[in-house]
Amino acid sequence: MTIMADVSADISELAAQIVAQASARNSPIVTAESCTGGMVAAALTDIAGSSAVLERGLVTYSNEAKMELLGVTTDTLAAHGAVSAECAAEMVAGALTKTQPAMLAVAITGIAGPGGGSPEKPVGLVHFASQRRGGTALLDKVVFAGDRAAVRAQATRHALQLLAGLMPE
């Protein structure tokens, strides 16, 4: 469990850094989460002062939620699946489109396990998209090791790292 404790400490530190930087730069944040189920938004709201920067956290676990709340297309889901770079890109774009005050966004979709994996999309596969309003979506794909809790914690930390990287100068 040392790994999980280290991840938790990293998550808290990153969240505090993001809240401070986003607040100083007046950069509201929106999250669009699937496999993390709101853990990124929860990490941010654990930090005092987060109400000044977290505009919205959307948990879009089902395909229907991704389509209804974020505008992910049926064509994307049919061609690539919910766990894909294409879906993550549409999630982050939709989060920014539907949350006008937000300046920064991150989207996460993956397979936390223990089931649901395949040779093409193994358990631990997570796709990320991060974007600054007016910018281009940055896509990332990681296959995390560990059980469901470990995959979700590592994905949360990675999403926070991506948000930190979006901070304007």
High-pLDDT (> 90) share of the chain, %: 93
Mean pLDDT within 40-51: 97
CATH number at residue 150: 3.90.950.20
- 103 is in which domain, residue-wise? 2-166
Mean pLDDT within 73-89: 98
Instruction: Check whether the bond before 114 is cis (ω within 30° of 0).
Output: yes
Choose the weakest-confidence range: 9-13, 125-129, 135-139: 9-13
What was the pLDDT predicted at 5? 57
Domain count, the chain: 1
Q: How far apart are alpha carbons 18 and 30 in whole angstroms?
A: 12
User: What is the reported pTM?
Assistant: 0.95
Q: What is the mean pLDDT of the chain?
A: 95
What was the pLDDT predicted at 4? 55
Backbone angles phi, psi at 86, to 5 degrees: -65, -40
64: tokens are 């229907």
